[in-house]
């Protein structure tokens, strides 16, 4: 009897945590970085106001995912090794069962519609909290560099007008002496997960039935 009560309490706690995770918006941070030949992407998220968090680092040197709960790392996964193992498994499966390209082409519109529905739901329910960073641009022709910088400033002004509640701080630095396209930008997003659960289920259901 005591064991049943303990299990019931644990089940209630798990359901409450799941409901809270869905109702409390998730904070997502996306930071692409490029400086010369070095390129890196960092994606992190926080659930339940930071009770649980994760971080994905992708670069030429490493591809790693870390999951933390209450500040303690409970999972570290090297995605580079996992990716290579998946590729080997996929090659074996393709040899045994070739891809049905006719089926993919025939259902291309269905796949496109499913993807666009999901993207639309994510775009509709995602709000930008902060967008800040620095962009360094330089083309072979200084005149073209000036034109590009002008377009970027205009785009930045439009973004500030369209997103008045967001904190936008983008520094644009022209380079007239050499060609370059470097950036260090951090975007902070907020997404209520309960609003995208149904679109996600629909997407995977439609894809699986194809």
Average pLDDT, the chain: 81
pLDDT value of position 29: 92
pTM of structure: 0.71
Rounded to the nearest 10°, the torsion over CA 44, 46, 51, 56 is: -20
Residue 23 contacts residue 196 (beta carbons within 8 Å): no
Percent share of the chain, pLDDT over 90: 3
């Amino acid at each position: 009897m005591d064991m049943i009560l303990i299990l019931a309490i644990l089940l209630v706690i798990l359901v409450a945590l799941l409901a809270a995770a869905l109702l409390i918006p998730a904070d997502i941070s996306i930071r692409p970085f490029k400086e010369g030949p070095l390129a890196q992407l960092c994606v992190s998220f926080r659930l339940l106001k930071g009770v649980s968090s994760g971080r994905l680092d992708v670069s030429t040197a490493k591809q790693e995912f870390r999951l933390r709960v209450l500040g303690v790392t409970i999972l570290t996964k090297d995605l580079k090794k996992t990716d290579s193992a998946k590729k080997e498994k996929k090659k074996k499966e393709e040899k045994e069962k070739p891809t049905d390209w006719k089926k993919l082409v025939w259902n291309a519109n269905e796949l496109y519609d499913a993807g666009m529905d999901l993207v639309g739901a994510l775009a509709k329910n995602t709000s930008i909290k902060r967008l800040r960073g620095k962009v360094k641009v330089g083309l072979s022709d200084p005149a073209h560099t000036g034109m590009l910088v002008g377009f970027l400033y205009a785009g930045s002004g439009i973004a500030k007008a369209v997103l008045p509640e967001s904190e936008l701080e983008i520094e644009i630095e022209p380079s007239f002496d050499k060609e370059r396209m470097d950036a260090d930008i951090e975007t902070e997003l907020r997404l209520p997960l309960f609003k995208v659960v149904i679109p996600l289920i629909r997407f995977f259901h439609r894809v699986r039935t194809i």
